Chains A and B, each alone.
Chain A
Amino acid sequence: MSLHLHDVTVTLGKGESRTTALRKLDVTFRPGVLTALVGPSGSGKSTLLAVAGALLRPDEGQVLLNGADLAALTDRERARARRERIGYMFQSGNLLTGLTAEEQLLAAASLAGRRPRALRPKVRALLDEVGLGHRLAHRPDQLSGGERQRVALARALLVEPELLLVDEPTAAVDRARADDLTALIARTTHEHRCVTVVATHDPVVTNAADTTVDMQTHAPAATA
């Protein structure tokens, strides 16, 4: 089980503002390994997440998730892959307004075509796992930044993803919570044996990662 981006090139924008975000990128991500993407803004971290997450089709190259090329899928198939094979944790959690923590996960279950009611025990177990068993009925505006990120992580794990993509998880939380959250993401990666790719500027996350990829050189920057 792995994610392999093979000779991926992505250009963004049109006309004079057209830029190459990724050029001939060739990189492999392993299951059970937390990989941090490092590099300055504009180096292509988020673009890599978008391509890996079937949100963006590369101009060239292959995005092989367990051997299946996500880049070759139709729009509908890519949406299905996102629902069933990929988990996302976006900046600031990005939860649905007005829904409780439990409902956030039930909504994701519904999107994935599962019967929400039947998944309720699993939903509660996941929220317990991320330390929010006591906050099931709290809405996003009643949760702290770190708690919102934990809900987003539990939501991402609900579909038992092969690939977990995380965008700047500590950007909106304080230092103490950032440490906890990073440790949780690392633990989850190891326990769930998913391919985890994190785009980050945060040295805490980089240090906690099993490996890093420098987006400027496209080379492993360090190995834990």
Chain B
Amino acid sequence: MFLALLELKAARGRFLLMGSVVVLVSALVGIVSGFTTGLGDDTVSALRRLPATHVAFASGSKSDQFARSLIDVRTADGWSRENGAEATPLGVTITRGTTGRGTEVDLAAFGIVPGAFTDPGADDGKPLDPARPHGIVVSRQLLSEGVHVGDTLLIDRLGIRLNVVGSTGRSSYGHVPAAYVTADTWRQIRFTTPGAHGAVAADLPLQYSAVALRLPDGTDDTAIAVADRRHDTTTVPLETAFTAAPGYDGERLTMTSIQTFLFLIAPLVVGAFFAVWTVQRTPELALLRAMGASRRRLLGHTLTQAAVVVATGTAVGAALAAALGLLVGEKVPFSLPAGTLATTMIAVALVGLAGSALTLRRVTTVDPMTMLGAGR
């Protein structure tokens, strides 16, 4: 340990250079991780907030299901009669509205039945009320975009006026802030022909995007498949339904690919540095062996140096990534909870150490005989 630290001090220029590379790689991994989580949240946080276990789509809808699937109200009723199941219609559509002050906002309208398990209630103001069908509860992002409780929101081109009755926590869908309306209001938004003002809910199809389900624990796939056949639906677990959100799969694939490459690059970079470092100091390692250092001691010596460089580098990288998160605030979809950051950085440190381990064989096989004339 003493010697390892002495060497670190003596070769601080080289180790600082290597440490800087580890800092940059780990910061980049942290930042990508933050964007992965942030973009994921921005795409599906409204779905993640749903206290449902499964979502049933119309049979045959294979992608972008929330936009393509249409489910009859009788299907929702049928599902609710399944043994132990709770079922409620769910409408999801992206639209645009303008407040009385002229503030234009995009919003993902979630049509829910007030009082059902999908009803988010309201943190501020009042929850949706079936007696006041044109109410809307907006998520916090819409408040920061200039929508206030008490405002009237005019849905563009449809002429539907909604009263902002309350607000709820952060939730969004497809990078658009979520807002909650009654199922009837949602049908008006979804089925009204642009320009055809004055459509009443009773004249519109009794259809929704999907059925949100809360199935008893231990419900097996066979029972779900049987129910699906009965109701002509395709039911997936809630997490699988995330892929139905627009762009979710593509974003995940892109960000995960970047992360994967960074996790491959990190050990190679660290390994390459320690390989060069080991080759460069092979005579010194031979000297240490000749002076009586055991193989185990040399291993410990090398791993200590690698651990100091990698641990310090990842810690600074983590701090940089976290600082960036604080800096950007809510301006961009960036989310890096402490747990995710810690897990990511531990993974970076481990792959970094694995990279340095690539050189250990050379360290242990160094020949002390090379110190003598016969070996030179």
Contacts of B295 in A (CB 8 A): 75
- For chain A, residues 52 to 111, give those with C-beta under 8 angstroms from any C-beta of chain B: 53, 55-56, 75-76, 79-84, 86, 88, 90-91, 94, 96-99, 103, 106-108, 110-111
**Contact: B373 with A81, CB < 8 Å?**
no
**Contact: B369 with A79, CB < 8 Å?**
no
Query: In the complex, how many angstroms separate the beta carbon of B10 from the nearest chain A beta carbon?
Result: 3
Contacts of B7 in A (CB 8 A): 96, 98-99
Query: In the complex, how many angstroms separate the beta carbon of A162 from the nearest chain B beta carbon?
Result: 13
**Contact: B374 with A50, CB < 8 Å?**
yes
Quick check: is B3 within 8 A (CB to CB) of the other chain?
A: yes
**Contact: A55 with B281, CB < 8 Å?**
no
Specify which of A47, A80, A94, A111 is in contact with B374 (CB 8 Å cutoff): A47
- For chain B, residues 283 to 299, give those with C-beta under 8 angstroms from any C-beta of chain A: 283-284, 287-295, 297
**Contact: A49 with B2, CB < 8 Å?**
no
Given the known interface contacts A94-B283, A108-B291, A112-B292, the answer about A88 and B371 at a Cβ–Cβ threshold of 8 Å is: yes
Specify which of A55, A96, A98, A110 is in contact with B369 (CB 8 Å cutoff): A55
Quick check: is A147 within 8 A (CB to CB) of the other chain?
A: no
- For chain B, residues 9 to 28, give those with C-beta under 8 angstroms from any C-beta of chain A: 10-11
Specify which of B1, B10, B290 is in contact with A55 (CB 8 Å cutoff): B290
- For chain B, residues 48 to 86, give those with C-beta under 8 angstroms from any C-beta of chain A: none
**Contact: B369 with A111, CB < 8 Å?**
no
- For chain A, residues 88 to 145, give those with C-beta under 8 angstroms from any C-beta of chain B: 88, 90-91, 94, 96-99, 103, 106-108, 110-112, 116, 139
Contacts of B375 in A (CB 8 A): 46, 50
CA distance in complex: A15, B368 (Å): 22
Query: In the complex, how many angstroms separate the beta carbon of A48 from the nearest chain B beta carbon?
Result: 9
Specify which of B293, B371, B373, B376 is in contact with A79 (CB 8 Å cutoff): B293
Query: In the complex, how many angstroms separate the beta carbon of B298 from the nearest chain A beta carbon?
Result: 10
Contacts of B283 in A (CB 8 A): 94
Quick check: is B6 within 8 A (CB to CB) of the other chain?
A: yes
Q: 1/0 per residue A151-188: CB within 8 Å of B?
A: 00000000000000001100000000000000000000
Contacts of A41 in B (CB 8 A): 373
Quick check: is B372 within 8 A (CB to CB) of the other chain?
A: yes
Is the interface on chain B under 10, 10 to 19, 20 to 34, or 35 or more residues?
Answer: 20 to 34
Name the residue of chain A whose CB is nearest to the CB of B14.
Answer: A98
Name the residue of chain B whose CB is nearest to the CB of A82.
Answer: B292
Specify which of A21, A98, A106 is in contact with B11 (CB 8 Å cutoff): A98
Quick check: is A199 within 8 A (CB to CB) of the other chain?
A: yes
Q: How many residues on A have C-beta within 8 angstroms of the other chain's C-beta atoms?
A: 40
Query: In the complex, how many angstroms separate the beta carbon of B198 from the nearest chain A beta carbon?
Result: 84
Quick check: is A221 within 8 A (CB to CB) of the other chain?
A: no
List the count of A-B residue pairs having beta carbons below 8 Å apart: 90
**Contact: A106 with B281, CB < 8 Å?**
no
Specify which of A75, A86, A94, A107 is in contact with B371 (CB 8 Å cutoff): A94
Quick check: is A45 within 8 A (CB to CB) of the other chain?
A: yes
Contacts of A79 in B (CB 8 A): 289, 292-294
Name the residue of chain B whose CB is nearest to the CB of A98.
Answer: B10
Specify which of A47, A55, A76 is in contact with B368 (CB 8 Å cutoff): A55
**Contact: A88 with B290, CB < 8 Å?**
yes
The interface centre, meaning the residue of A45, A82, A116 with most chain B CB atoms within 10 A of its CB, is A82
Query: In the complex, how many angstroms separate the beta carbon of B302 from the nearest chain A beta carbon?
Result: 14
- For chain A, residues 15 to 48, give those with C-beta under 8 angstroms from any C-beta of chain B: 21, 41, 45-47
CA distance in complex: A167, B369 (Å): 12
Query: In the complex, how many angstroms separate the beta carbon of A116 from the nearest chain B beta carbon?
Result: 5
Q: 1/0 per residue B282-323: CB within 8 Å of A?
A: 011001111111110100000000000000000000000000
Q: 1/0 per residue B191-229: CB within 8 Å of A?
A: 000000000000000000000000000000000000000
CA distance in complex: A79, B364 (Å): 13
Name the residue of chain B whose CB is nearest to the CB of A42.
Answer: B374
**Contact: A90 with B374, CB < 8 Å?**
no
Query: In the complex, how many angstroms separate the beta carbon of B312 from the nearest chain A beta carbon?
Result: 19
Specify which of A46, A106, A111 is in contact with B372 (CB 8 Å cutoff): A46
Contacts of B376 in A (CB 8 A): 91
Contacts of B11 in A (CB 8 A): 97-98
CA distance in complex: A91, B374 (Å): 12
Q: 1/0 per residue B340-376: CB within 8 Å of A?
A: 0000000000000000000000000000110111111
Contacts of B287 in A (CB 8 A): 90, 94, 96
- For chain A, residues 172 to 211, give those with C-beta under 8 angstroms from any C-beta of chain B: 199
**Contact: B6 with A103, CB < 8 Å?**
yes
Contacts of A96 in B (CB 8 A): 7, 10, 284, 287-288
Ordered by A's residue number, 6 sampled pairs between the chains whose C-beta atoms are within 8 Å are: A80-B292, A80-B294, A88-B290, A88-B291, A96-B10, A107-B2
In the complex, given contacts A46-B374, A50-B372, A79-B289, what are 16 additional A-B residue pairs having Cβ atoms less than 8 angstroms apart?
A: A21-B374, A45-B373, A46-B373, A46-B375, A49-B372, A50-B375, A82-B292, A86-B292, A88-B371, A91-B373, A94-B283, A94-B371, A96-B10, A111-B288, A111-B292, A168-B373
